[in-house]
Structure 1
Amino acid sequence: MGDAKISDSKTPSLHPVYTVTNIQHKVKVLDGSKVTYSSWVKLFKLHAKGYDVLDHIEDTPPLAKNSSEYDSWTKIDAIFLHWIYGTLSDDLLVQVLENDTTARNAWVKLQNMFTNSKGSRAAALEHEFTNLKLSVCLSMDEYY
């Protein structure tokens, strides 16, 4: 027989979330202009999936407080929440930062900030576009 390794099932393995030292090396800072919300979400979810914490931002209920894994879950959630906070511009961080919250709550708050204003932003841009007159533009390029 070969050199088959037998794993000790009693030895707990380190969760992948603990191996990340600097989230900004993986996910750029969301500022809404250089890094858009949609691209940030895609990168963040990809990273979360790779580090086995995607369930912390999806619509998955947190563990019950009486669960034997609850303490571990809350520590991982706190680290993941720190990842979210660490990839936000200062302006966004001030709007999202809260005491005693979860990664899911912060995620939903950000989502609401960026997606709830789409309709009103589109209406404002349409209004601006329909009222734009060539005479107020400095050139044809600016008009277009």
Structure 2
Amino acid sequence: MSDNKSSFHPAFAVSNIKSNIPITLEMENVAYYTWAELFKVHARSHKVLNHTIAPKTKVAAPSTDADKELWLTLDATVLGWIYSTISRDLLNTIIEPDSTTMEA
């Protein structure tokens, strides 16, 4: 998953997702396309787009325990970004125990 195991992943540097995605996605005020585009740009710039959009080509599953742990941690990070940028109504609609970002 990463060439340099000691490198710090850029997604972990995000301390406040709302400063990068200032729109709260709501059921009533449909701004999905704007929210989704901002989210996609942010995910791409932090090298986690593959957690929200399936790659066009098959990607090998993480092979080591460290890679699996990194993937799970990154997925939880991106899922937290989604949860932090949507309304409570939407959150209550999509939140599921042990859900992945792709499922949300």
TM-score by length of 2: 0.82
SS in 2 for 1:18: helix
Higher helix content, 1 or 2: 1
Count, aligned residues: 97
Matching of residue 85 in structure 1 with residue 80 in structure 2: no
SS in 2 for 1:103: coil
Contact persistence 1:81–1:103 (CA under 8 A): yes
Matching of residue 13 in structure 1 with residue 11 in structure 2: no
Percent identity of paired positions between Structure 1 and Structure 2: 37
- One-letter amino acid of the counterpart of residue 73, structure 1: W
CA distance in 1, matches of 2:82, 2:93: 13
Where do 5+ consecutive residues of structure 1 fail to align?
1-8, 107-144
Larger Rg: 1
Contact persistence 1:63–1:73 (CA under 8 A): no
Distance 1:63 1:99, change over 3 A: farther
Distance 1:98 1:50, change over 3 A: same
Match of 1:54 in 2: 49
Where do 5+ consecutive residues of structure 2 fail to align?
none
Contact persistence 1:29–1:35 (CA under 8 A): no
> Cα offset for 1:59?
1.4
CA distance in 1, matches of 2:59, 2:97: 17
> Cα offset for 1:58?
1.0
Bigger RCO (CA 8 Å, 6+ sep): 2
TM-score by length of 1: 0.61
Distance 1:62 1:21, change over 3 A: farther
- CA root-mean-square deviation: 2.2
Per-residue CA deviation, residues 73-123 of structure 1 (Å, 9 max, x unaligned), is 1001001100011101010000011111111110xxxxxxxxxxxxxxxxx
